Structure 1
Amino acid sequence: MNVQRFLVLFIILIGQCTQAQFLLNKDSIITSIEERIKLPIIPDYVVNVSQFGAKGNGIKNCKPAFDRAMKACEKVNGGTIIVPKGVYRLEGPIHFVSNTRLHLQAGAKLVFGSNPKDYPLVLTSWEGTNLYNYSPMIYGVNVSNVAITGEGIIDGEGNGLWATWKPIQSKGQQLSREMNHNKVAIKDRVFGEGHYLRPQLIQFVNSKNILIQDVKIEDAPFWCVHILNSSGVVLKGLKYDAHNKNNDGIDIENSNDILIEDIDFNNGDDNVAIKAGRDHDGRANMNHPSKNIIIRNCRFKGLHALVIGSEMSGGVKNVFAYDCIASGYLKRGIYFKTNSNRGGYIKNILVDNIRFGDVEDAIYMTSNYHGEGNGLFPSKISNITLSNISFDNVSNTAIVIEGYPKFKVKNVTLDHITFKSAKNGMTLSNTENIKFNEIVIGEKQGVPSSVK
């Protein structure tokens, strides 16, 4: 055996051992993630927004009242803001302070206005590029111990003016990417008026110990819940009815120690999308990958169920998605996407025990997303295990795995995957060490018939 071949075999063996060790330790890894996540500690101080002049009549602008309530909590180092039953119109955003909970009682609804001038520019990220843009409707930066809870509704009113921005956003979108690629200082990436980049509905940046639980989310202008450069996050019991363009349910970006649990998704794009920055911005932040993420006991419904990418240049690792079901028609069930200019990696991913209905493409892993890139920064996809997953009818392809010639998709295990039917079976290209065990498309065949 020559030295080159020995080295190749040695690298393959190391990859297999790494994947096996990850699977062997999965229970302890999940337990350690749960132990590190600390729920927010909120002081006993309680105020009601009505004390500050808020009226739930759907007419009065209640933003000043919410601002005063938040300021009152800040003065005593935190507390709970109660929002009683009623419709509260806010002409502008809610900006969180630390140690504070916003609690929406049953029958309470926040409806945000759509005048861009009411939303100041803040530090944010747009499709993986750091910049200053219109404030999300609910926003927190550099905060800790914060919570949004209750049985109420948060409505972003995204189907009006904001919706008209989608067809005219391309110039602003391309400018943001050029600034990213040219390494323009973030302080000089000032967008807002004339650039038509829609704001997120809920976003926390550079924050920790975050809880969002039980509320219903409707009609976001852009992404619904965006967790950016943050840690120690619980998203639980949420319900969605958000069908505007790019209404991702949950976007996790450059964040770690995340629990996503018991969510009823029904939104117009990705249900869960795990990201880690676009191109240069992401690669410059590779010491903060998205990692240690648990997704369990969720009900998927939307465009795509579980997505990693395409903005993942800072790396994504240690993701556990299990014990979920999907309903309705999905374009793609499990979708990992990157291109040859992203860089970064997707590794140590376990998806187990998920039941899908009808899909267009069932399992799709690609290093050639939209055919973009010239090969300067290929991404690495490796150590992926998909097990005990079923699909009903697949109108296009059951399994697609495509790597990049210089960086093949490696060490993927598909174990006990079933498809009732599929127009196309499988496409593999630029892959290495793909393992299959009990893959069934159509009826499972037993003993072959005898020759007549």
Structure 2
Amino acid sequence: MKYILLLLISWSCLAQKNEFPTAKVDSIVKRIQLPVFPAYQVNVVKLGAKGDSITNNKAAFDKAMALCKKNKGGTIVVPKGIYKINGPIHFVSNVNLRIEKGAKIKFSDNPQDYLPMVLTSWEGTMLYNYSPLIYAYECTNIAITGEGTIDGEGGKTWKSFKAEEGPGKNLSRDMNHNNVPLKDRKLGEGYFLRPQMIQFFNCKNILVENVRIENSPFWCLHLLKSQSITIRGISYKSLNYNNDGIDPEYAKDVLIENVTFDNGDDNVAIKAGRDHEGRANTATPSENIVIRNCNFKGLHGVVIGSEMSAGVQNVFVENCRTIGYLKRGIYLKTNADRGGFIKNVFVQNIQLDQVEDCIYMTANYHGEGKGYQSDISNIHFSNITCNKASESGIVIQGFPDKKIRNISLKNIEIKEAKNALSNENAENVLITDVFIGKRATVPSAVSKH
């Protein structure tokens, strides 16, 4: 009798751990602080900006930022019109860039306009490169708000960089692996590494709300080494190469909600540095990230990896659905070059239409690497529906000597799939009420001859 009781207790504990931890989500959201701004306001038109889509308004926007700095912060108002800016916007603390309805900021696509180089990160490696189009470094209390549009003009010159980026990309990875000092990692001109559209780097108390993001050169919204971040109500149409929607990297306490994605790559890609450099930063994993009430459209919905070498933990995804094509719904990807960990991921109430793969977890992404296998554990999926997976319903791929562990799949229905379930090198996988393909009913009676 004691044994039965003990077994019941252990199973009930496991079941409780698998429940979506709403209290934990609430505590993260409560801890995130929205930015606050002084009353000072400046309208760019009053500083000489012209919303005629031709005039270069760089000087007017720079002057507005300088006036805000002088007044210890404030709001920069961008009224209706199309404002060409030949070069980046560099934030200072305590500033809200408010792009009003009918207003569009249209950046130039001349790479020279984004020099001198700034300290940034490119696919998980810290280096000096072209400035992101909107760049905030070591700022507190900053926001981009309003119902206007930011256009990165990424479809021409920047798009052409993709075919040329190989040598620069490989050099950046060599610098990472060989611990080249940061001051010597100068890429920029001649290396063809495209800049991010918006990057918050070492910032705190950030809000991006209701704006529309279009035509980014590279990643759209990069949350780098920043914390206390709210992204809500924004929308996208950005279909160039590598146009991830939101990339939290070494980011902490992040709320992403009510976002309408339409991206040429991942909608949300949670990252935490690449390889040696990432593993040296295990004190700052990406953690406490809440993604809810979003509409997915693009390559993949929510991705963790593949650059996640400092670790990713405490990710909560709920109440999201697709509004168009998605290759994969939820995608955890790492390989034996990365190391680090992915743990404590909870996903619930997801509605997918047609995908290639519904849920995909792999420790062997692209079959690359050796020596640094990642630790993937405590991953929980519940209440997920999918109309059709043209390839696989659920894929779990660990290594024989480094298994993915403690996975729960509960209340999942995938109505049609070419391959139902592929589960290799995983342990303690709990499957409850999972239906892939047509649901079985009562067994038929023995036929009469």
- On whether the aligned pair clears a TM of 0.5, the verdict is yes
Please, which runs of 5 or more residues in structure 2 have no aligned partner? Answer: 1-9
Does the aligned pair in 1 maintain the 2:20–2:346 contact within 8 Å? Answer: no
| Other-structure match for 1:29 | 24
**Which residue identity does 2:207 align to in structure 1?**
L
Name which of 379, 399, 407 aligns with 1:404: 399
The one-character-per-residue Cα deviations of 1:97-133 (angstroms, maximum 9, x if unpaired) are 0000000111000000011111021111100001111
Q: Secondary structure at the match of 1:358?
A: strand
The match for 1:277 is 273
Name the TM-score, length of structure 1 as normaliser. Answer: 0.95
What do you get for the CA RMSD once the two structures are aligned? Answer: 1.4
Is the counterpart of residue 132 in structure 1 residue 132 in structure 2?
no
Output the CA distance in 1 between the equivalents of 2:413 and 2:207: 36
User: Aligned partners of 1:379, 1:296: CA distance in 2, in Å?
Assistant: 27
- Identity of counterpart residues, as a percentage? 56
Amino acid at match of 1:158: G
CA contact (8 A) 1:312 1:338 kept: yes
Which secondary structure state, in structure 1, belongs to the residue aligned with residue 169 of structure 2?
A: helix
Please name the residue that 2:53 is paired with: 58
Evaluate the alpha carbon distance shift between residue 265 and residue 72 of structure 1 in structure 2; reply closer, same or farther with a 3 A threshold. same
Aligned residues: 437
Give the equivalent residue in structure 1 for 2:190.
194
- Among 42, 50, 56, which residue is 2:37 paired with? 42
Q: Which amino acid aligns with 1:89?
A: K
Work out whether residues 19 and 411 of structure 1, in 8 Å CA contact, stay in contact via their aligned partners in 2: no
Say whether the 8 Å CA contact 2:18–2:408 is kept in structure 1. Answer: no
Residue pair 2:414, 2:435 contacting (<8 A) in 1 also: yes
The alpha-carbon deviation at position 336 of structure 1 amounts to 0.2
CA–CA separation in structure 2 for the residues paired with 1:342 and 1:230: 22
Looking at structure 1, the residues matched to 11 and 71 of structure 2 have their Cα atoms a distance apart, in angstroms, of 54
- What is the aligned counterpart of 2:68 among 48, 68, 73? 73
CA distance in 2: counterparts of 1:17 and 1:170, whole angstroms: 52
Residue identity in the other structure for 1:320: F
Q: CA deviation at 1:71?
A: 0.2
1:16 deviation in Å?
8.8
**1:115 to 2:110 alignment:** yes
The two structures have a TM-score, normalised by structure 2, of 0.95
Q: Deviation of residue 18 (structure 1)?
A: 9.0
What is the aligned partner in structure 1 of residue 153 from structure 2? 157
Letter of the structure 2 residue corresponding to residue 426 of structure 1: L
Shift in CA distance, 301/164, structure 1 to aligned 2, threshold 3 Å: same
Q: Distance in 2 between matches of 1:183 and 1:20?
A: 44
For the residues of structure 2 that align with 1:307 and 1:229, how far apart are their CA atoms? 18
How many Å apart are 1:31 and its aligned residue? 1.5
Q: Is the 8 A contact 1:340 1:377 kept in 2?
A: yes
SS of equivalent residue, structure 1 residue 270: coil
CA contact (8 A) 1:19 1:383 kept: no
Counterparts of 1:306-325 in structure 2, within 5 Å, are 306-325=302-321
Which of residues 196, 205, 213 in structure 2 aligns to 1:209? 205
Give the alignment partner of residue 357 of structure 1, picking from 345, 353, 356: 353
Q: Distance in 2 between matches of 1:125 and 1:17?
A: 44
Does residue 304 in structure 1 map to residue 300 in structure 2?
yes
List, as ranges, runs of 4+ consecutive aligned residues in structure 1 with deviation greater than 2 Å: 15-25
Cα drift, residue 172 of structure 1: 0.3
Q: SS where residue 330 of structure 1 aligns?
A: coil
Q: Tell me which residue corresponds to 2:6.
A: none
Matched, 1:289 2:285: yes
More displaced, 434-443 or 244-253?
Answer: 434-443
